[in-house]
C-alpha cells in the first residue's frame, strides 16, 4: 500500500464505470473546458477507459447530455427546496424571485447549461419538477391557470435563470457572465469601437455618455446579474398587476 487511505484508489484498483460516474465526469469536463471539449473519447480518457466502454452505460452521447441536465436540475431542485416556504397571496413575487435567482446561482456554475438545455428534445422529469413548483407558487399567488400559463411563457428561459443576450455593447463582461468565457457556447460578442462612431450613431452616443458621465452611473454596466434582475423584476411587476383581474 503506497498511498494514504485518504487518497482515492490507485490505478491498480480502478473504480468500475457506471452511468453515474460517466455523467459526473461529463459535467466536470464541461464545467472546466466548455461543452466543446466534451467528446466520448475525452470522457473515457478521464475515466481511465476506452470510448467504446461508455456505450455499455449510456446509449449515446445524447443520453450523456440528458443525464447532465438531470444532474443540473436535481442540483437546482435541492437548492430551491431549501428555501423558505412561500407566503400565499402577495408574497408570491418575492418567493418566485428568490426561486429564480437561486436557480440562476446554480447555472452560473455550469456555463454549458443554457446551450445543453436548449438542445434537449425531451423534458427531464427533474426540470418538470422545477416548473411544477414554480407553477404552484403562481397559483398560490392568486393567478388563474390561464394567467400562470402565460406567465411561464413570458418568463421563458428566465424562469430557470438565464437569458439570451445577442451582443454586449462594450466594456468588460464580469466573470459571472453565463454565456461568456466558454468556447463551445460563446457569449455575446462585443462591438468593435472603430466602426461604432460613424455607422451606429445611437449606440455610439450611448457608449459615449456612459463613459463621460460618472462611470458608476449604471453601477454594473452590462453586469449580467444587474440586467438579469432588472428584466426579471420588470416581468414580475407586470405579472403582479395582472393578478386578480380576469
Partner DNA sequence: ACCTGAACACCGTTCAAGT
Q: What is the binding site for DNA (CB under 7 A)?
A: 16-17, 38-42, 44, 49-53, 55-57, 60-62
Q: Segment near a copy of itself (CB under 8 A), from 9-17, 52-60, 78-86, 116-124?
A: 116-124
Which of the choices DNA, a copy of itself, none does residue 157 contact, using the CB cut-off of 5 to 8 A by kind? a copy of itself
Query: In the numeric block, which cell numbers belong to residue 201?
Result: 450613431
Which of the choices DNA, a copy of itself, none does residue 217 contact, using the CB cut-off of 5 to 8 A by kind? a copy of itself
Q: Segment near a copy of itself (CB under 8 A), from 13-21, 26-34, 94-102, 140-148?
A: 140-148
Q: Is 221 in the site for a copy of itself (CB under 8 A)?
A: yes
Q: Is 126 in the site for a copy of itself (CB under 8 A)?
A: no
**Residue tagged 461529463 (cell numbers):** 26
Residues of the shown chain interacting with a copy of itself in the complex, contacts defined by CB under 8 A: 115, 117-123, 125, 127-129, 131-133, 135-136, 139, 145-146, 148-150, 153-157, 159-160, 162-167, 169, 185-187, 189-191, 195, 199-203, 205-206, 209-210, 217-218, 221-222, 227, 230-231, 234-235, 237-239
Amino acid at each position: 500500500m503506497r498511498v494514504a487511505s485518504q487518497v482515492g484508489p490507485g490505478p491498480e484498483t480502478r473504480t468500475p464505470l457506471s452511468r453515474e460516474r460517466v455523467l459526473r465526469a461529463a459535467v466536470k469536463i464541461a464545467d472546466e473546458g466548455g461543452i466543446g471539449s466534451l467528446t466520448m473519447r475525452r470522457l473515457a480518457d478521464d475515466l481511465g477507459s476506452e470510448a467504446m466502454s461508455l456505450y455499455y452505460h449510456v446509449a449515446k452521447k445524447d443520453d450523456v447530455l440528458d443525464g447532465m441536465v438531470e444532474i443540473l436540475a436535481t442540483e437546482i431542485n435541492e437548492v430551491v427546496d431549501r428555501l423558505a416556504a412561500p407566503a400565499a397571496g402577495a408574497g408570491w413575487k418575492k418567493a418566485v424571485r428568490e426561486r429564480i435567482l437561486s436557480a440562476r446561482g446554480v447555472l452560473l456554475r455550469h456555463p454549458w447549461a443554457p446551450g445543453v438545455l436548449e438542445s434537449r428534445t425531451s423534458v427531464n422529469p427533474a426540470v418538470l419538477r422545477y416548473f411544477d413548483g414554480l407553477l404552484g407558487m403562481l397559483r398560490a399567488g392568486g393567478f388563474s391557470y390561464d394567467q400562470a400559463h402565460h406567465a411561464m411563457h413570458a418568463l421563458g428561459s428566465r424562469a430557470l435563470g438565464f437569458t439570451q443576450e445577442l451582443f454586449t455593447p462594450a466594456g468588460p463582461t464580469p466573470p459571472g457572465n453565463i454565456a461568456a468565457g466558454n468556447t463551445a457556447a460563446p457569449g455575446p460578442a462585443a462591438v468593435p469601437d472603430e466602426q461604432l462612431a460613424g455607422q451606429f450613431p445611437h449606440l455610439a452616443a450611448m457608449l459615449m455618455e456612459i463613459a463621460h458621465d460618472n462611470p458608476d452611473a449604471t453601477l454594473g454596466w452590462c453586469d449580467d446579474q444587474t440586467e438579469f434582475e432588472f428584466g426579471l423584476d420588470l416581468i414580475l411587476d407586470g405579472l403582479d398587476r395582472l393578478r386578480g383581474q380576469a
